[in-house]
Structure 1
Amino acid sequence: MTQLVRLEVEDGIGIIRLDRPPMNALNDEVQRGIIAASLEATERKDVSAVIVYGGEKVFAAGVDIKQMADWSYTDMVDHSHLFQDFTRALARIPKPTVAAITGYALGGGCEVTLACDFRIAARGAKLGQPEVLLGLIPGAGGSQRLARLVGPAKAKDLIFTGRFIDADEALSIGLVDEVVDLDDGSERGPDPLLAAAKAMMKRYAGGPAYAIRAAKEAIDSGLETDLQSGLEIERMLFASLFATKDRAAGMASFIESGPGKATFEGA
């Protein structure tokens, strides 16, 4: 893993930190670092949920335009798979994920957030897909994931115009799930946004890991197919959970003590 991207683990929560000042531009090294961190978060049993975080000032202002400016068509053919591989790696983490967004999340940065299950934004954050202003379209999944999240009309507006939207508009169209005031006087500590992201992910730490994994797979895979195929995916995943210890523990606890009191092993 590169020093520009690292995975930190605390109380069952993994934090994938982007650390390429000043704007966390997503060059090849950062993209490969995201892939490596995603794989590590997937494999580690002590990670129940994942936060993707760019720091207190900026999430990621996009891919490294200076790196790409002189590329030829064949150069881009060689790199285009990596452009999608790093967001696919994030999307494939079989655990709950949230992007904690400060400052700018533009272009590739916005596409990173779209590869997560949830998005929390600091008030004042700016999100957008401004590739059209460069004579391009999103290339790391934005045209597909954004439309699935907010609907085709809103996605077309953002992609056709390349305009930036603030956190409140992003919340209103469903692009983010929560907006956090950084100076609200609360006692959440020096970084209220990261604290809010940790609070969200804490819900899943210690939960039935394989059931959550199956639920994520059922939803994500079902969205890519027709209803009947999605129902078959759900049926098979539902049945598979009867091989887990957590299913047995959850049902036994329900019978004895009622819902919500089971202790899970993640097995």
Structure 2
Amino acid sequence: MIDVEDEGALRIITLDRPDKANALTREMLAALADTVERAAADPAVKVVVLTGRGKVFSAGADLDEARAGLATDGVWERLSGAIADSPILTIAALNGTAAGGALGMVLACDLRIAVPGAKIFYPVMKLGFLPQPSDPGRLAALVGPARAKLILMGGARIEAPEALAIGLVDRLAEDPVAEARALAADAMGADRSHVEAIKEMLS
């Protein structure tokens, strides 16, 4: 339920469950973490792009699995940690709305690009779940504590133009994967050690 395109210096990882709005199962989350960890360990890879198939990036956790324990499973933190700790450039290319726990992998990326019609929300208060432990801090680092509370506690749905204005996403593009490729060009042309060094300086 994920698709991986290996283009040498670039790996494109696509959530591939469009009939279920790319809702995330434990199997998918583990496969995503495995794929990111392999990319990070491969000296040829300099950039990872995360995207989705269809009109939605991800609706978050598969609700049946969430009720059965996925909501508190450590696999979420394993995935977001693998992305955040990766020594390469990571870009979320949001082909549509990102909701709930799916936001964790988006927040962990270095850059975020979204289609103009995307929405971002994290309805943990409404659903009775806590956000994954690292998500609130990453969210607050991007948008500030008050707006993080607006999203996590007020259940706000952030439209793409507002997300751009507040720093939740970095670019809007009709084709976010194409925009991600453009932004990745310098990193793909550089030595991986240079990519690692700049990322370390910014961490």
TM-score in terms of structure 1 length? 0.71
5 Å-filtered alignment, 1:128-167, equals: 128-139=121-132, 141-167=134-160
Between 200-209 and 116-125, the greater mean CA deviation after superposition: 200-209
TM-score in terms of structure 2 length? 0.92
Q: How far apart, in 2, do the equivalents of 1:83 and 1:7 lie?
A: 19
5 Å-filtered alignment, 1:27-176, equals: 27-71=25-69, 80-139=73-132, 141-176=134-169
Q: Give how far 1:211 is off.
A: 2.4
Contact 1:16 1:51 in 2 (8 A): yes
Structure 1 vs Structure 2: percent identity of aligned residues? Answer: 37
Amino acid at match of 2:128: G
Q: Aligned pair in 2 of structure 1 residues 117, 105: CA closer, same or farther (>3 Å)?
A: same
Contact 2:33 2:78 in 1 (8 A): yes
Give the structure 1 partner of residue 182 of structure 2.
199
Amino acid at match of 2:35: A
Deviations 1:202-240 (A, max 9, x none): 1211213112212212322xxxxxxxxxxxxxxxxxxxx
Q: Give how far 1:55 is off.
A: 2.2
- Equivalent residue for 2:6, pick from 9, 34, 40: 9
Give the structure 2 partner of residue 240 of structure 1.
none
Amino acid at match of 1:199: A
Q: Note the residue ranges of structure 2 that are not aligned, 5 or more in a row.
A: none
Deviations 1:46-89 (A, max 9, x none): 32211101124111110112112244xxx86xx53222111111
Amino acid at match of 1:10: E
The DSSP-based 3-state class of the residue aligned with 2:131 is: coil
Q: Aligned pair in 2 of structure 1 residues 94, 13: CA closer, same or farther (>3 Å)?
A: same
Contact 1:6 1:33 in 2 (8 A): no
Contact 2:76 2:104 in 1 (8 A): no
Give the structure 2 partner of residue 252 of structure 1.
none
- Equivalent residue for 1:216, pick from 183, 199, 202: 199
Contact 1:127 1:166 in 2 (8 A): yes
Structure 1 or 2: larger strand share? 2
Amino acid at match of 2:151: L
The higher relative CO (CA closer than 8 Å, separation ≥ 6) is in 2
The DSSP-based 3-state class of the residue aligned with 2:64 is: helix
Q: How far apart, in 1, do the equivalents of 2:159 and 2:79 lie?
A: 25
Q: How far apart, in 1, do the equivalents of 2:101 and 2:201 lie?
A: 26
